[in-house]
Chains A and B, each alone.
Chain A
Amino acid sequence: MTQHESEHADHHVVPYGLYVRVWAALLLLTAITVTASTLDMKHVTVLTAMVIAVSKALLVLLYFMHIRFEKRIYVWMILTVLGAYGVFIGLTFTDYWYR
């Protein structure tokens, strides 16, 4: 790959309006998670909050942090780190539940 091509891939110009729409979606999801927490749902409270938080995190990663417009290598790097983190979570809980 030439220097020129890498520069081009690096500087994908995102329209301002897309960022504003992502921001509006993030605020909407925040409003939903706050409203959902006031409903009495007992055991699903944490799960609901986490599903919404993961959705918000995906929006920030894909658009604000540009992952959608980057080369696939960044997706693999992130999945590798999340996989390693999943192993840490799994081992920690295995330890706590079966000791």
Chain B
Amino acid sequence: MSSNTAASVVDAPEASHGGHHDPVANKIGMWLFLFTEVLLFGALFIAFAVYLSIYRWDFQEASAHLDMPIGAANTAILLTSSLTMALAIAALSRANKKLALHLLVVTLLLAAAFLVLKSFEWGHKFSHDLYPRSATMELKAEGEQVFYGLYFTMTGLHALHVLLGGAAILFAMGLIWKDRIRPDRISFLENVGLYWHLVDLVWIFLFPLFYLIG
């Protein structure tokens, strides 16, 4: 018994193959990780709320200059990618491997579309000399500088999460392809899904706070 446990600890891939499998622990562990992510973004949201209460009018002025249609399009794109992710998990749990993989490809394409739009948006701001501590930025009101600082920090950190989530989806697709993730061993894909929905959840709050208060 004890040598068995030792072997599964040393030989992790073997363990995930045929050894001990604990979906409940997998899920609770993932949620605990998601809570740390909530507090990471949460701290930034508190900073946003405090500065919004201090620089109310500067924030409205700066928000009006963000590209709202792009922000709204990206919201629709992320919500749709959350749908295809949820459907992919539902498909694989019904043993429909091909449909699951197709839905994950769509999820990846939507993630890429989000990042492309985001980079257009940032590029547009940069080409107007609008980035932290640029000459144009230094001339703006104090509150607008804080707004743009929070905008680049929070949407940048969020975009990094989209990128990492995309990498996790790609990795999960490889495991599904090799039948390492299958209907009776679906925890990994479910956890990738939870991560992806959290990324969506963060954007649900980022979008109105940055784009709609102007």
Q: Which residues of A contact B (CB under 8 A)?
A: 6-7, 10-11, 13-16, 19-20, 22-23, 26-27, 30, 33-34, 37, 45-46, 49-50, 52-53, 56-57, 60-61, 63-65, 70, 74, 77-78, 81, 84-85, 88-89, 92-93, 96
Contact = CB atoms under 8 A, between A and B. Distances in A.
Interface in B124-143: none
Contacts of B79: 23, 26-27, 30
Contacts of A7: 23
Contacts of A27: 76, 79
Secondary structure type dominating chain B contacts: helix
B24 interface: yes
Q: Which 9 A-B pairs have the closest CB atoms?
A: A49-B208, A37-B212, A23-B83, A81-B35, A19-B86, A64-B197, A26-B79, A56-B204, A64-B86
Nearest to A30: B75
Q: Considering residues B39, B79, B83, B211, which has the most beta carbons from chain A within 10 angstroms of its beta carbon?
A: B79
Contacts of A78: 31
A89 B38 contact: no
Given A23-B79, A60-B200, 6 more contacts: A30-B72, A46-B209, A57-B204, A64-B85, A81-B39, A85-B38
Secondary structure type dominating chain A contacts: helix
Interface in B72-99: 72, 75-76, 79-80, 82-83, 85-87, 90, 93-94
